Amino acid sequence: MRSTQRAAKGDTMTRVVALLTAGFLATTAAEAHHGFGNFAMDEDIELTGVVTNLDFVNPHSWLSFDVTSANGEKLPYRCELRSATTLRRSGWTPEMFAAGTRITIQGSPDRSEPRACYVSTLVFADGTTLDRYGQRIPPKPTTERAARVPSGEPNIFGDWAAEQLVMTDPKGRDGTLVPLSTAATFEPGAVPEGQREIPGARGTQEAAAGIDAFARPRPPPRGAVGLTDAGTAAMAALAEIPRAERSCMAGSILSDWGGEGVNRIKRGADTITLEYGRLGLERTVYMGRATHPTDIAPSHAGHSIGRWENDVLIVDTIGFLPGSLTGTTPHSTQLHVVERFSLDGGTMVLKREYTAEDPQFFTAAYTGSNTSEPSIVPYSPEPCRDLTPVVR
């Protein structure tokens, strides 16, 4: 492991489990978007061909192209890129890969699908090269956003995104994930102290042994918060869902706000709308109401009421369908979430702090926070289709 850093730088339970399974959270970012799966990362491959199609989707985009063999036969290949969301946030567009574009791909082969690969570097016909984590646009907006709206409240409205995570190796072969703003401070493939290389990365034991790090037998699930017996049973059921089925399943109002998506906050006359970049979830926060109605129809987003208190937007949400809070940690219909949104007017960093309580499934409150910055690209939920080869 390298750490080089530049100096400059029951029946009821059956119904609950069934609902949980139907609404289960996609696999975590490290698994769905940054695992190496069945790619042989210790091996190199170079292919030159002509683009036939681009599936610009989450959790991974796939570039299809034809390679002409020595005897003149056209052989179809497809190679994996990052998610559509991260590509768009890096300035990549589908237009770059129009059908008929001649391209050379340097990467690593798939162990089981002979005509699939992992893209490390692209070389275009004019000689231009672009590494997997290459950035084609500035990381931050060039125009300033006002810190307050005319009515005086903090200007939390607009498009927001958490800082992008990239690998310390721009080619995406080895190393680990770090915030984009710090990536240039690391030698290619370096691993910051306290972290480890992503399982399956070049030079890891998983790569040498030919192990799909995420297809191995899984250890017993661990909850993100203490669980009751009922919560533990629900978690065990969720943990049995194959990872390949999780990628495009909805998460919770807490988990889906973070990650790599671009979210939007809109202001209405007496409401605030939260639009999630991941799968397009939309929440309405009813402002100025002291209590929730008594006849709430349970939903994935729940029912939210909000108020401003000392420049902090406080959002109280109940009325959920059972689902996953985060990862394999479940929640029941008794979930109660309180969020606090605050804006640093100097840095324009939006902070969200949250507390989740669930007397049926949790033995203690689940708490946390995350931050977002003004997004360089607009809100636009990308389609989700997991096209990863199935390893049999």
pLDDT one digit per residue (tens) for the chain, 392 residues: 454 554 333 444 444 444 443 433 333 333 334 568 789 999 999 999 999 999 999 999 999 999 999 999 999 999 999 999 999 999 999 999 999 999 999 999 999 999 999 999 999 999 999 999 999 998 888 778 999 999 999 999 999 999 999 999 999 999 999 999 999 999 999 999 999 999 999 999 989 888 665 555 455 566 689 999 999 999 998 888 777 677 788 889 999 998 889 999 999 999 999 999 988 899 999 999 999 999 999 999 999 999 999 999 999 999 999 999 988 899 999 999 999 999 999 999 999 999 999 999 999 999 999 999 999 999 998 889 989 876 55
Report phi then psi at 220, rounded to 5: -55, 140
Tokens, residue 121: 């570097």
Secondary structure element (H or E) that encloses residue 235, with its range:
helix 229-239
Report phi then psi at 64, rounded to 5: -105, 140
Which position has the token pair 């399974």? Answer: 21
| pLDDT value, residue 30 | 37
Task: Select from 222, 107, 219, 257 the least CA-distant residue to 172.
Answer: 107
Contact criterion met (CB below 8 Å) for 285 and 273: yes
Contacts of 325 (CB under 8 A, 6+ apart): 25, 224, 225, 252, 254, 255, 331, 335, 356, 358, 366
User: Which pTM was predicted?
Assistant: 0.87
User: What is the DSSP secondary structure assignment for residue 140, as one 8-state letter?
Assistant: S
Tokens, residue 296: 């709430």
The separation between CA 344 and the C-alpha centre of its own chain, rounded to angstroms, equals 24
Task: Select from 320, 340, 343 the least CA-distant residue to 332.
Answer: 320
Contact criterion met (CB below 8 Å) for 257 and 276: yes
Round to whole Å and give the CA distance between 304 and 292. 8
Q: How do strand 303-309 and strand 282-287 relate by DSSP bridges?
A: parallel
| pLDDT value, residue 8 | 37
Round to whole Å and give the CA distance between 4 and 111. 31
Q: How do strand 303-309 and strand 271-275 relate by DSSP bridges?
A: unpaired
- Diameter of the chain measured on Cα atoms: 75
| pLDDT value, residue 27 | 33
Which position has the token pair 């940690």? Answer: 329
The separation between CA 306 and the C-alpha centre of its own chain, rounded to angstroms, equals 27
